[in-house]
Amino acid sequence: MLPSLPLDILFEIFGCLRPLDLLHLTRTTKSIRALLLHRSATSVWKRAFSGDSSLPLCPDDVSLPSWASLAFDKFCQNCLAPQIRNVDFILRVRYCSRCAKTKLFSSQLLKKDKKHHVIILQAVPFSYWSGRNYKSCTVGGKESFVELLDSHQGDRSAFVEERRAWVKKRTEHGKLWKKWLEDIIEDREAETDELRMGRNQRIRQLVKEQGFSEELSFLDRLGRDSHPGLLPIRCGPT
């Protein structure tokens, strides 16, 4: 029924959805996908993003559907492995651990006493990838910059300076989205803790109602360390 509705009505409906909802819609039918990925649907994506006040502004050099996929999808951008949470908003990639080994380039391979390497470190976006204590850039990003630098016919110094400014702007923007994601994770963990505490209190009340108050007090005095057979409760975002 939806594809048969007038375009303005469709856009009005779609504009009330979240970015993730729009992503899901793009994977329903070819006609809806073509509609939502067309330039005419840009206003729909803008409304979807602006509907969540917690979201930072999107970059102006990436399409809104692509940014929505980076921020909200959970699959590796290279191999499409599901449930991948390693995302970097400075590098603008989401990779599984396996693909990160081949798609990311370590800053440790660059020598600071080599001018060409120093330029790469300054003019290509680098970031600390998940779990690493050194910065990395994307292989594609590095190779693309080297090609641009080698083929540049004008003032190289001015070109490199422009790239430095671009990297700085992109890094600052990526940090805003990183902070947004950290806040989301923190909120989910707090919610999980609250649910766990509530469940714990309900169970304790039921135990007391069954007449086991003394046994419960005895276990409290012993503490959790006295029960190595108890499995720890996992906490974290799903």
C-alpha 23/C-alpha 119 separation (Å) is 37
Q: How confident is the model at residue 228 (pLDDT cuts 50, 70, 90)?
A: low
| Strand partners for 113 | none
pLDDT digits (tens, 9 = 90+) for 49-103: 999 999 999 999 999 999 999 999 999 999 999 999 999 999 999 999 999 999 9
pLDDT of 13 strictly over 60: yes
Q: Are strands 104-106 and 135-138 parallel, antiparallel or unpaired?
A: antiparallel
CB contact set of 178 (below 8 Å; sequence gap of 6+): 88, 89, 90
**Per-residue model confidence (pLDDT) at position 225:** 58
pLDDT of 220 reads 78
Q: Which residue would you say has higher pLDDT here, 195 or 171?
A: 171
Q: What percent of the chain has pLDDT over 70?
A: 92
Is 231's pLDDT higher than 80? no
- Dihedrals phi, psi of 58, to nearest 5 degrees: -80, 155
**pLDDT given at position 124:** 98
Q: Which two tokens stand for residue 209?
A: 């109602």
CB environment 116-154: b (16+ within 10 A), e (fewer): eeebbeebbbbbebeeeeebbbbeebbeebeeebeeeee
Residue type at position 44: V
99 or 214, higher pLDDT:
99
Phi, psi of 236 (to 5 degrees): 155, 170
Q: What is the pLDDT of residue 238?
A: 41
Q: For all residues of the chain together, what is the average pLDDT?
A: 90
- The alpha-carbon radius of gyration of the chain (Å, integer) is 25
Structural domains of the chain, ranges and CATH numbers in brackets: 1-72 (1.20.1280)
Q: Which residue has the higher pLDDT, 201 or 137?
A: 137
Q: With a cut of 90, say whether residue 107 has pLDDT above it.
A: yes
pLDDT value, residue 93: 98
Q: What are the pLDDT digits (tens) for 112-164?
A: 879 889 999 999 999 999 989 999 999 999 999 999 999 988 899 999 999 99
CB–CB of 56/170 below 8 Å? no
Closest CA to 122 of 112, 130, 132, 131: 112
Q: In this model, does residue 47 exceed pLDDT 90?
A: yes
Between 48 and 131, the higher pLDDT residue: 48
C-alpha count within 13 angstroms, C-beta hemisphere, residue 101: 2
Tell me the pLDDT band of 224, cut-offs 50, 70 and 90.
low
The pLDDT score that the predictor gives to residue 86 is 96
The answer to whether 142 and 105 have CB atoms below 8 angstroms apart is yes
Q: Which of 20, 41, 28, 24 is nearest to 2 (CA)?
A: 28
pLDDT the model gives residue 235: 46
